[in-house]
Amino acid sequence: MRVIFFGTPDFAVPTLKKLLAEPDFEVLGVVSQPDTRRGRGNQVSASPVKAAAIASDPHIKIWQPHRLKKDQEVLTEIAALAADVFVVVAYGQILSRKILNMPKYGCINVHGSLLPRYRGAAPIQWAIANGEEITGITTMQMDAGIDTGAMLLKSELAILPEDNTDTLSEKLAEMGSALLIETLRNLDQIVPEPQDDSLSCYSPMIGREDWELDWTKDAIALHNQIRAFYPNCYINFRGQMVKVTKTEVITGDGNIEDLGKVVEIFKGKGFAVQTGKGLLSIKELKPAGKKLQTGWDFVNGTRIAIGELLE
């Protein structure tokens, strides 16, 4: 089967590698987002998918259009290759009907949720933020909507209490690579299942407002928020931003008058903050300009005291 692969972030890499390693699939080329400047040095760097493709085959064809559906030269090149299928994993651009209709078997998407739940840009993050216990992968026949196409295969995965977006993404990415291969090998036998729109929900892109911790929320909601938007959730402490990266919920309501204050210090472990419901134990943090540290190291370094307010 002749394949053109569309993808950009780390989540897409296992699927690309799986396709490249399977002898019954021929990857004709890769479409990825343009190189970007990132990091402290503001250096230009390739997307994870582009880097993985080149590492596997330095001569592989790679396209990086800024707007694929407007780039006639790239579209003409892709169409001329007469691929059997386009595989799309977190590419980052909307595909036009013209592109969707190019290959014999259309465009197959690997989506990081159990559709029709969590359509959209950030299904893994919002599943964690909303306290879901089960998630998974859906392979889907793409249409012109946003994650609205007919479902092909699904695979479920439990969300563990210690999972954050990074750990869950890694597991789902590997699961997705295997499910994609199974899907392609059985395309002629799979009966596509239309999605029930009444069961759908949307997972929008993450914004800076999603990172700010609000102590009026319940401890479990804050805990899930920190796991979901890892490692970016933050508080303000003595006028400086501190990122909170690992927490634990402590049962018991506490005193609501202590909202946002340090109410307990656990020797060798960290400290607890009063929330709208329950206490949140802070186990790991990253102060601005410093390395990641345990809650106990933070206590020792700052001499934080019971009753001190975190904003």
Instruction: Render pLDDT for 70-86 as a digit per residue (tens, 0 to 9).
Output: 999 999 999 999 999 99
Q: What is the mean pLDDT of residues 26-30?
A: 98
**In this model, does residue 253 exceed pLDDT 90?**
no
Decide if pLDDT at 91 tops 90.
yes
- What's the whole-number mean pLDDT along residues 223-233? 98
Contact yes or no for 117/110 (Cβ under 8 A): no
**pLDDT value at residue 39:** 65
What digits encode the pLDDT tens for the residues 56-70? Answer: 999 999 999 999 999
Mean pLDDT, to the nearest integer, of 138-142?
98
Mean pLDDT of 91-112: 97
Amino acid occupying residue 89:
V
SS3 for 82-148 is CCCEEEEECCCCCCCHHHHCCCCCCEEEEECCCCCCCEECCHHHHHHHCCCCEEEEEEEECCCCCCC
Amino acid sitting at position 40 = R
Q: Which residues pair with 17 in a beta bridge?
A: none
The confidence band for 254, taking pLDDT boundaries of 50, 70 and 90, is confident
Residue 40 reports pLDDT greater than 70: no
Residues in Cβ contact with 170 at an 8 Å cutoff, skipping those fewer than 6 apart = none
Going along the chain from its start, the domains and CATH numbers come out as 2-203 (3.40.50.170), 208-302 (3.10.25.10)
**Mean pLDDT of the 124-136 span:** 98
% of the chain with per-residue pLDDT over 70: 99
Q: How far apart are CA 300 and CA 303, in angstroms?
A: 5
Averaged pLDDT, 220-249: 97
